[in-house]
Structures are given as C-alpha cells and as structure tokens.
Structure 1
Amino acid sequence: MSESRIDVHVKVLDQRVVRRAKRYGLDAVVYAPHFTRLPEIRARARAFSDDDLLVVPGRELFTGSWRDRQHVLAIGLSDPVPDFLTLDGTMAELRRQNAAVLVPHPEFLNVGFDAAAIGRHRATIDAVEVDNAKYWPHHARRAREIADRFGLSAFGSSYAHRRGTIGEVWTAFDESIETEADLVAAFTEDAPRWVQRRRGAIHRARRAAEFAHLGYENSWGKFDRLVLPGRTATHPHHEHYDGRFDELSVY
C-alpha cells in the first residue's frame, strides 16, 4: 500500500504551484479559494490535474458575518453552497451532501471555529487542522489540544496564500489517493494519517511570510469591496442560488 502526500488546503493554483507541488513530492492538493463558486473551482482543478498531481476542488466556506465569522472546509460537495450563511445552516447543508467536513485553523485569531462550535457540531466534523504554515507553535499546540479533547482526527496543510508556501505542511495517508472520492472517503472513514512539515530556516521564513499575509486577508477594506455591495458570486442572494439560502443568509 503506497503513501499519499496531500496538501489539504491551498488558495493559489497555477503552473508554478503545480511544478512546486511535484518537486516537493506531493500527490495531491486541495484547491479552495475564497469567494469562488464551486463550478469555477472544479473547472480550474480539472485544468491543472494530470497523471502526477491530483487537484481536488474544495470550498472554505465563510460562515456568519464578517465580525463573527468562522470558516469550514468542505471536500466532495455535489452542489454549490454560498458564503455568509449561519454556521448551523452551513453545517446542515454539508451534512445533507455527505461532504468531508474539516475545521481549518480552530481558534486561530478571529477566523476559526471555537471549541463551543466544534462541540456542537462534533458529529458532522471529520477532522481538525493541527498544523499549517500560518501557525506559530502555540497555535499548533492549541489546535492539537482541541482535536484531542473532542476525539477528532487531525490534518495539516500549507494553507498557502503564497505560491512559495505550497508543500510546507501536508497530510500523509497510508493509502493511495487517486480521486476526489478517495480523499473524501479517507476523511469520512478516518483513514490512518500523519501530519508532516518541512523544517529549517527557509521553512520558518516561509511560515512567517504566510502569517504576515493575514493583514490583507483580515482587512475590512477587502470585505467592503467584495461583499457588502453583493458583488461576490458566493453571496447567498446571488441569482445562482435561486433563493434557496435566503432564509439562512446573515446579510
């Protein structure tokens, strides 16, 4: 049985990303950009997948309002799900679709699930992120404590917003992952895995650069430009969703 090395959460995808992922020995990456509809993510993932690297489409869903947001990562969605729904509404929809439901960066600054939310949705959650390239050591310790407290499996990712961070942290499964369905099953069936990362001064520098990128990611200006006017295609009132999520929308 062969090991599969998966960078479970990246925000960037182009030929440079693919080349770097292959050079670092990854078998797959999960591409989950913000404020991008599932059909577009799927099309881009197909375009950059080949025999040497699988690109799996994912959605890091932005639940709640800007001020009380909590992110959840879904893999294996059959239907698009918008951002800016209530957390309970989002989790119910992911459960309905039998997606793999992952908690990225728990209690990390102001964008992660808190312990209370994890406890409330424990039955729906498949894994908790215990390391990524934006974490400092105390973040990783806290995330591991949360996973252990709730008896949830772990995963790790680069959480790369910068091309140079791809493959700095990954999850190794003790089985072959060749399709999106394989990865969903690995999470939902609790397949054996290990969270691994690169080491050394260059790795530490890349982690610091990723952490510094949070300044833009959390800026009100970004949100005001993309979301409040309703211009993002993942707003629940967008015509794509035919009003299905209007009652769950927080905006």
Structure 2
Amino acid sequence: MTARVDCHVKVLNERVLERARRANLDAIVYAPHFTRLPEIRARADRYSSDDLLVIPAREVFTGSWRTRKHVLAVGLAEPVPDFITLEAAMAEFERQDAAVLAPHPEFANVSLTEADLREHREAVDAVEIFNPKHRPAHNRRAREIADELDLPPFTSSYAHLSGSVGVAYTEFELESGLERGADLVRAFRERAPRRVVYDNGFRRWRTTAAELGHLFYENTWEKVDRLFLSGTEPTHPRHIAYGGKFDDVAVY
C-alpha cells in the first residue's frame, strides 16, 4: 500500500488542502515556525479529514540565530523549544522516540552539515535530498550526503506559501497504510521503502523563486529582534510554558 506524503509544510489553510488533494497526497506534515506543539497539534487535528491526514511536527531551530541548525521532529509527545543546543535537542528527540529528519542539509547557515550528520548519524532517520528552495547543486550535494552516510532519503515542498504544496513529496510503501501520525513515525524509524517524487519543470522553478523571496523576509534582523530578544515568544526556551526545563541548554 502506498502513501504519498509532503513531509514538511509551514502553512495550513483551505488552499493548502485543495493543493494537497490535487496532488493526490495522503498526508502532509505541518511544522510552522515559532509555534508551540499544542497549537500545532490542535490546528492539524482541525484540518485533518478521512482523505487527507495532517500530521503535527516541529522544525526546531537549534543553536543561535546566526548559527542555527534546523532539525525536523515528527511524533513528539512534549514541546521542545527553539534555540537550545543541537545536542540537547537530539537528546530530547531520542527520549521522546520521535522520528528525526534533516531538512535542506548544508543549505545556507540554517542546516545540519555533513559533520553534524556524521556525529548524530544514529539519531537521524532521513535526509532531505530534494528541496524546491535548492539549486540543483544543493540537491546533488544533499543526495551525496545521504548516500555516503547510508541514510534514507525524503523530500518535501517545504511550503511557506500555499501554492507550493505538492510540488515534491515522498511515496512510502507501507504494509498497513497511513491512518495516523504514528504510522509515519514508524515508516521513518523502520526505514520503509520509499520513492522521492518532485516536479522539476516550470512549476518547480516558479515555486523556487517565490519561496526564496519569502526566505529573504524570514531572515531579516528586524524579525529576529521582534521575536526573540524579549524572551516571551511561545518557543523561546525561557518561556514560562517550559517551566525552566531547558534553561541550562538555552543559547539566549
């Protein structure tokens, strides 16, 4: 039984669902920036339906803003904040038995490097080998890393814009189908057979241009200043919601 999954989207609305259904997806993984897990989970539940599963996840920003490394965790039971050390994040993911994915490896200054992946190879369940934001050389490099480290691949639309959903997805071969998030976690953890599927024509390059434009806004210092210097944002490690649990591994 096959299951088509867009393994990483940032936006969730009716247009996203329309795009996902048009691409014949069975599920999307919803992991918005700077949003706590309970809110992500509630929104995913609200938009899930019998024909399209929305799976909550967190792309945790580890390290400082200037040296951050993104790690995507699927199947978390408890919230994990941004801007803690990479080592602390990996330990927490392991404690919660989450599936750990490496999105856009070695892309700009926001990704796990080959050295990071070698160090944490036993904890990482898959490496993204195609991302619409990447240039062809970036995607080739990502595939090389996955091959060299013998880590399974995945892809996603990495959609920050609703029109990007479905431009890339991972097609899994599953024995019992995909009915809940735990089934996808198991597919990653058990290295289920899969196929990476992506559109490399006009729509892909249009998506790349639109998403890179959005990326420029995301990385402005004004946004960083607004979000994190106060320490009151929902995923700041010193936010009251975390009860001091991550204070000793926080970088801010």
Do both proteins adopt the same fold according to a TM-score greater than 0.5, normalized to the shorter chain? yes
Alpha-carbon shift at residue 45 of structure 1 (Å): 0.1
d(CA) in 1 for partners of 2:153 and 2:209? Answer: 23
CA distance in 1, matches of 2:122, 2:191: 13
Alpha-carbon distance in 1 for matches of 2:146, 2:217 = 28
Aligned partners of 1:166 and 1:66: how far apart in 2?
Answer: 27
Moved more, 43-52 or 18-27: 18-27
Q: What is the match of residue 69 of structure 2? A: 70
Aligned alpha-carbon RMSD (Å): 0.9
What does residue 242 of structure 1 align with?
243
CA shift for structure 1 position 173: 0.3
- Cα distance between partner residues in 2 of 1:207 and 1:169: 12
For the Cα contact (< 8 Å) 2:62–2:84, is it kept in 1?
yes
> How far did residue 219 of structure 1 move?
1.4
Aligned residues: 250
Determine helix, strand or coil for the equivalent of 1:194.
Answer: strand
Q: In the TM superposition, what whole-angstrom CA distance separates every residue of 1:187-210 from its partner, at most 9, and x where no partner exists?
A: 000000011012422332122211
Code of the aligned partner of 2:53: L
Which runs of at least 4 in structure 1 moved beyond 4 Å after TM superposition?
A: none
Q: Secondary structure of the residue that 1:73 maps to in structure 2? A: strand
Hey, what does 1:139 align to over in structure 2? 138
Shifted more, 46-55 versus 219-228: the winner is 219-228
| Aligned residue number for residue 20 of structure 1 | 19
2:187 corresponds to which residue?
186
Task: State the Cα deviation string for residues 109-143 of structure 1 (Å, max 9, x = none).
Answer: 11010111111111100000011221111110010
In structure 1, the partner of 2:94 is: 95
The residue number in structure 1 matching 2:36 is 37
2:24 alignment partner, SS class: coil
**Unaligned 5+ runs, structure 1:** none
Larger deviation, residues 82-91 vs 229-238: 229-238
Secondary structure of 1:16's counterpart equals helix
For 1:83, the equivalent position in structure 2 comes to 82
After superposing the two structures, state which structure 1 stretch, 151-160 or 192-201, moved more: 192-201
What is residue 59 of structure 2 aligned with on the other side? 60
Give 1:41-52 correspondences, 5 Å limit.
41-52=40-51
Structure 2 Cα separation of the partners of residues 122 and 202 of structure 1: 34
Pair 1:151-2:150 in alignment = yes
Distance in 1 (CA, whole Å) between partners of 2:207 and 2:75 is 30
- Alpha-carbon distance in structure 1 between the residues aligned to 2:117 and 2:203: 34
> Counterparts of 1:136 and 1:28 in 2: how far apart (Å)?
26
Could you tell me how far apart the structure 2 residues matched to 1:20 and 1:115 are? Answer: 33
The amino acid across from 2:138 in the alignment is H
For residues 219 and 231 of structure 1, what CA distance do their matches in structure 2 show? 19
Q: Aligned partner of 1:185: which letter?
A: R
Please tell me whether the aligned partners of residues 106 and 112 of structure 1 are also in contact (alpha carbons under 8 angstroms). yes
Counterpart of 1:219 in structure 2 is: 220
State how far apart, in whole Å, the 1-side matches of 2:25 and 2:212 are. Answer: 22
Which whole-Å CA distance do the structure 1 matches of 2:53 and 2:9 have between them?
13
Which secondary structure does the structure 2 equivalent of 1:135 belong to? coil
SS at match of 2:29: strand
Q: Are the equivalent residues in 2 in contact too, given 1:133–1:211 (CA < 8 A)?
A: no
Task: Report the 3-state secondary structure (helix = DSSP H, G, I; strand = E; otherwise coil) of the residue aligned with 2:127.
Answer: strand
Q: Return the letter of the residue paired with 1:111.
A: V
Within a 5 Å distance, the mapping from 1:3-18 to structure 2 comes to 3-18=2-17
Unaligned runs of 5+ in 2: none
Aligned partners of 1:158 and 1:165 also within 8 Å: yes
Query: Which whole-Å CA distance do the structure 2 matches of 1:249 and 1:170 have between them?
Result: 33
